[in-house]
């Protein structure tokens, strides 16, 4: 069987290899992505975001356990900070989810952010499609936890869960980051803390002080380490999923996002490589003030659009 056929058959090793191909941008990845088009759009996609230290990974672990008890299969994308040496994911979240390592109904993959803003990885939308095509019922995305740039998750997930922790000033951060606008469910984790009730009240007040149309966003309290509040979290997410199709975006939007992600990656790699004379000249002119940033960008896009001459062979 081909890798594509094995992936569509639900083979976990084939899924891992397909994700690696997509991350590496190989020709095989293009074939796979074209071949799964008819199999995407079924999985429920749930995003978890929030600041570092809020306990997202532990909460996700409890959520995964509850989903498995109900018979649903789960794939998890844990976006980690990039290693400064290899550029790969640091794998911190996979370490914290080892309880599910032997469960064939759970697949966990860490992706390196690799400098991509928004708390995600540029390949995350493609990996979601691969997991969807492999037949998982629920795909969970955990953002890197970088802070105020993590609103991109709302474009990918049908339901976005924002996790807060007492004592971290999450109510203020939520207002600054626009997180209240993207949250479908708010969870105050570490609910056994004396400050949990205060944080919940602050989030409630912040939600109702906003001007304009009011969205009803449930605010839950949980203690992920003990499992308290997990059942309520599952019920809240399921209720939100029931209000809309599993995927917010249609196929055309997914294609645009895929193209945009790959284009951004190609341009970024070309600029950082420092091997293209045309791009190096653009950088030099920008540094010396001969070009404005808008002019430099226009020339950069034109340079990247030019076909590369074939390499000389002996």
Rounded to an integer, what distance in angstroms lies between the CA atom of residue 109 and that of residue 140?
10
Helix (H/G/I), strand (E/B), else coil: 80:
strand
List, for residues 246-302, the tens digit of each pLDDT value. Answer: 554 455 666 676 677 677 777 888 898 888 899 999 999 999 999 899 999 999 988
- Side by side, which strands form the sheet with 44-49? 106-112, 74-80, 138-142, 44-49, 159-164, 185-188, 219-221
Mean pLDDT to the nearest integer, 53-79: 92
Rounded to an integer, what distance in angstroms lies between the CA atom of residue 245 and that of residue 115?
31
Domains present along the chain, CATH in parentheses? 37-248 (3.40.50.300), 252-305 (no CATH)
Report whether pLDDT(100) > 80: no
pLDDT of residue 73: 97
pLDDT of residue 207: 73
- Residue 146 or residue 271, greater confidence: 271
Rounded to an integer, what distance in angstroms lies between the CA atom of residue 276 and that of residue 48?
39
Rounded to an integer, what distance in angstroms lies between the CA atom of residue 210 and that of residue 127?
35
Would you place residue 229 in the very low, low, confident or very high pLDDT band (cuts 50, 70, 90)? very high
| pTM, entire model | 0.78
pLDDT of residue 60: 93
């Amino acid at each position: 069987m081909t890798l594509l056929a094995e992936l569509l058959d639900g083979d976990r090793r084939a899924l891992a290899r397909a994700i690696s191909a997509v991350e590496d941008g190989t020709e095989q990845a293009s074939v796979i992505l074209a071949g799964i088009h008819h199999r995407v759009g079924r999985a429920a996609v749930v995003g978890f975001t929030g600041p570092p230290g809020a306990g997202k990974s532990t909460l996700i672990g409890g959520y995964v356990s509850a989903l498995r008890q109900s018979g649903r299969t789960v794939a998890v994308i844990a976006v980690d900070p990039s290693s400064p040496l290899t550029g790969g994911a640091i794998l911190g979240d996979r370490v914290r989810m080892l309880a599910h390592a032997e469960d064939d109904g759970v697949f966990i993959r860490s992706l390196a952010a690799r400098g991509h803003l928004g708390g995600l990885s540029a390949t995350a939308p493609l990996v979601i499609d691969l997991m969807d095509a492999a037949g998982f019922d629920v795909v969970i995305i955990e953002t890197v936890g970088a802070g105020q740039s993590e609103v991109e998750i709302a474009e990918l997930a049908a339901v976005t869960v924002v996790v807060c922790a007492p004592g971290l000033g999450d109510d203020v951060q939520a207002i600054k980051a626009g997180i209240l606008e993207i949250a479908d469910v708010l969870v105050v984790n570490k609910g056994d803390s004396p400050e949990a009730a205060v944080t919940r009240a602050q989030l409630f007040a912040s939600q109702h002080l906003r001007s304009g149309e009011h969205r009803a966003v449930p605010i839950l309290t949980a203690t992920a380490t003990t499992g308290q509040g997990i059942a309520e979290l599952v019920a809240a997410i399921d209720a939100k999923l029931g209000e809309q199709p599993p995927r917010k975006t249609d196929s055309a939007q997914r294609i645009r996002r895929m193209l945009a992600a790959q284009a951004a990656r190609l341009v970024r790699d070309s600029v950082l490589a420092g091997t293209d004379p045309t791009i190096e000249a653009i950088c030099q002119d920008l540094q010396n003030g001969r070009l404005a940033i808008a002019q430099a960008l226009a020339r950069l896009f034109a340079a990247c659009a030019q076909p590369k001459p074939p390499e000389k062979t002996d």
